[in-house]
Each structure stands twice: as C-alpha cells, then as structure tokens.
C-alpha cells in the first residue's frame, strides 16, 4: 500500500481574479487529504472515501466509481469528488506509461468538500503522488502540481487556475500568475477559519464571474483591482521577515487588503449571506481582516487574528458551524508509506 497526503489551503488574496491571469496568494494549511493506493490484479478502480468531513459533513462511500453512494451530502459533490479521483488515476497511469493497472483507493480527508479549502486539489495531488509511487515512478512536487492542474482543468471544464494545485503540492505560501508559479517566503500568519457547513459550486461561480466580466467593464475593472490588491499584499509580505511572527502593523495592513478583497468578491456575486455574516462576525470580534476563501457561494471564510477573540466571536455568529485556527503547512505533498509494485505485480518495499 502506498499512502500520500497533501494539504488544503486558504486564499490570503486573489481567488477568481487568478482565473483571468491576475496574481493570487494562497497559503497551505495543516488540514490534509490522505490517499492510500493498492494496485489490483485487474484494471478496475475501487474507491472508498472516509470522513471527507468537518463536523456535520460526512461522506461514506464504498464501491466502484460508477456506483451510487449512500451519502448525506449533495450527490453532485460526491460525483465531483469521484471525478477528481478518476482524473488523478488517469494522470498517474500516463506518468507511469501504463494502461493496464487498476487500484483500490482509500481517501481520508479533514478538509470539507467544496468549501473553499482546496479539498479537490489536495485529493488530486495526494492521489497522483500515491498512484505514481505505487507504480514505481517518483515525480517531483512541481510535476505533480502540473499533472494535478491538468486533472482539475479537465474535471472543471477548463475553469481552473494553477493556484490550488500548486499550493497543495508545494506547501507554504505561494504566488501564482497564469503559468508562473512560485513559492513565497512568508511569515506564519494567524489564520482563523469559519465554516458555514455548506459548499459552493466552483464551476457555476467561476462562470458567473466570467459573465459579469464580459458584460460590464466595471466588473472587468473589479477583477483587475483584485490583482492590484494582491500586488500590494505581496509587497507587504516581501518586506516582512519570514522567521518572525508578523507584527501588529503588518497584520493591520494585510487585514485591510483582505477586507477590500472580500468587498470586491461580494460585488462579483460570489459571497453569500452566511459568508458575509461570518466575515462581519470576525471583524466585530476584532480580527485584523476577513474574507471568503476559494470559490465562495458558501463554505469558509478566513480571518487574521493572533488573539482568541475571533474564534470566540465566530462561535456565536449565526450560520457559523465550525471554527478552527489554521497553521501554515510548510510541507506540501508528502509520502506517508510506500510499497511499489512493478507491473507484473511483484512488490518492493521502500
């Protein structure tokens, strides 16, 4: 059995605008998806997904990917999750130049599905790493990021940037602008995440922004302004010492930019009542700034606060179902256990 894990992420700045070539800064967080892979004798794929959850949000599924799982989350989300796993397997078979191999796959994740924390990217990244290793092929993190992007691009009908997958593969804070992906030396920011228990439909939300942008020049300007916010945020991060805890002034300035970024995402129609409630709950509790993270429509917000006040405030905010502090995950994709199988089924422990 080969087991790999990869982290989820929050967007400090820049989601949606990144789809149109503006820069974005996502940060990997210590919530991981773990994928276990065991090659099979036949060419079938069997997927078992456990705990794709935070509280109140669980999928239990066991069976072939074309089966009908018994779940307590909307079926489209489960179908999407299975689509990502299929696409990851395709990429792994392609990397290993093999078509004949099947897999038993188990997915465990503490990143809620479709909630803006990069669950699909983490599953795809960990899945490609585990499946290629199981076939005796060792890809570096950048190649995994590239293949994971291709998998997401396919599942999301071309509506995906490289941000989520690059961040999950590399870990830490990253900067993505079109095909230009880099890691950043950033201080460990005091992220607090609020989750409304729901999810958004990334494809529909991205399509909605595209429509607005094509219809109104001011919507296109809004997307460009998000890019300006990201560039300003990058300057602040570049001046900070990554080894030190961020000082109050830096947090206040980053927080202002996050607030601005949320306002523009709201204007582009990707926020929701519960996301806005949580953003205001965090601000009223004294957060330096707060914004939705990811595609929006429901799911998570991210706030900056080194004190416990925002966590407490969010616990009392209507619509907020879960709150947690998210540490920066400095490690991206990593192998947890490894046993390669050659194509004739002979095992080599590594």
Residues labelled catalytic:
164
Minimum distance of ligand MEV from residue 228's CB (angstroms): 17
Contacts of 23 (CB under 8 A, 6+ apart): 14, 175, 176, 177, 227, 230, 231, 234
Question: Could you identify the residue written with the tokens 């590239």?
Answer: 146
Taking phi over 0 as left and psi of -120 to 50 as alpha, with beta for the rest, 145 belongs to: alpha
Whole-angstrom Cα distance, residue 10 to residue 12? 6
Q: Which stretch binds ligand MEV (CB under 6 A): 135-143, 155-163, 219-227, 299-307?
A: 155-163
- Rounded to a whole number of angstroms, the minimum distance from the CB of residue 175 to ligand MEV is 13
Select the residue whose beta carbon is closest to ligand MEV and give its number.
161
Closest CA to 312 of 298, 320, 254, 258: 320
Whichever of 107 and 155 has its CB closer to ligand MEV, that residue is 155
Smallest gap from Cβ 161 to ligand MEV, in A, equals 3
Q: Which of 173, 251, 295, 320 binds ligand MEV (CB under 6 A)?
A: 295
Does residue 145 belong to the site contacting ligand MEV (CB under 6 A)?
no
Quote the longest CA-to-CA distance of the chain: 61
- Which of 161, 261, 272, 310 binds ligand MEV (CB under 6 A)? It is 161
Site for ligand MEV in 6-35 (CB under 6 A): 15-16, 18-19
Nearer residue to ligand MEV within complex by CB, 18 or 88: 18
Q: Environment class of residue 244 by beta-carbon count within 10 Å: exposed (0-12), middle (13-18) or buried (19+)?
A: exposed
The residue among 8 and 313 lying less far from ligand MEV, judged by its C-beta, is 8
Q: What is the Rg, in whole angstroms, of the alpha carbon atoms belonging to the chain?
A: 20
Of the pair 106, 119, the CB lying nearest ligand MEV is at 119
CA 303 to chain centre: 16
Output b/e per residue, 56-78; b: 16+ Cβ within 10 A.
ebbbebeeebeeebebebeeebb
Contacts of ligand MEV in 94-123 (CB under 6 A)? none
Asked if 126 and 48 touch (Cβ cutoff 8 Å), the reply is no
CB of 205 vs ligand MEV, minimal distance in Å: 6
Per-residue x/- track, 193-212, ligand MEV (CB under 6 A): ---------x---x------
Binding segment toward ligand MEV, per CB under 6 A, in 47-55, 59-67, 156-164, 341-349? 156-164
Minimum separation from the CB atom of position 207 to ligand MEV (A): 11
Shortest Å distance, C-beta 160 to ligand MEV: 4
| Residue 172: C-alpha distances to residues 6, 27, 109, 246, 321 (Å) | 12, 6, 19, 15, 27
308, two tokens: 């416990």
Of 7, 227, 294, 297, the residue at the interface with ligand MEV (CB under 6 A) is 294
Give me the residues that bind ligand MEV (CB under 6 A), please.
Answer: 15-16, 18-19, 160-161, 163-164, 202, 206, 294-295
């Amino acid at each position: 059995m080969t087991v790999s894990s990869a982290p989820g992420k929050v967007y400090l700045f820049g989601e949606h605008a990144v789809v149109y070539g503006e820069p974005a800064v996502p940060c990997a967080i210590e919530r991981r998806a773990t994928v276990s892979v065991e090659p099979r004798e036949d060419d079938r794929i069997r997927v078992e997904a456990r705990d794709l959850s935070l509280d109140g949000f669980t999928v239990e599924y066991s069976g072939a990917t074309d089966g009908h799982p018994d779940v307590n989350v909307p079926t489209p989300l489960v179908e999407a999750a299975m689509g990502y796993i299929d696409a990851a397997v395709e990429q792994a078979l392609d990397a290993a130049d093999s078509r004949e191999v099947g897999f038993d796959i188990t997915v465990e994740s503490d990143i809620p599905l479709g909630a803006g924390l990069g669950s699909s990217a983490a599953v795809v990244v960990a899945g490609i790493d585990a499946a290629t290793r199981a076939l005796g092929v060792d890809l570096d993190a950048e190649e995994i990021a590239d293949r994971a992007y291709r998998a997401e691009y396919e599942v999301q009908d071309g509506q995906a940037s490289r941000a989520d997958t690059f961040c999950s593969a590399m870990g830490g804070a990253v900067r993505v602008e079109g095909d230009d992906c880099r890691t950043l030396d950033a201080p460990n920011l005091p992220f607090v995440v609020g989750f409304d228990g729901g999810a958004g439909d990334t494809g529909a939300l991205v399509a909605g922004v595209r429509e607005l942008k094509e219809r109104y020049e001011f919507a296109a300007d809004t997307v460009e302004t998000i890019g300006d916010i990201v560039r300003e945020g990058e300057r602040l991060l570049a001046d900070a010492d990554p080894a030190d805890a961020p000082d109050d002034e830096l947090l206040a300035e980053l927080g202002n930019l996050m607030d601005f970024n949320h306002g523009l995402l709201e204007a582009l129609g990707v926020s929701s009542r519960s996301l806005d409630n949580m953003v205001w709950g965090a601000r009223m509790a004294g957060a330096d700034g707060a914004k939705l993270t990811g595609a929006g429509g429901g799911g998570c917000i991210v706030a900056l606060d080194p004190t416990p006040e925002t966590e407490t405030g969010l616990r009392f905010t209507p619509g907020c179902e879960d709150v947690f502090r998210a540490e920066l995950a400095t490690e991206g994709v990593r192998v947890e256990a490894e046993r390669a199988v050659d194509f004739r089924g002979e095992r080599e422990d590594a």
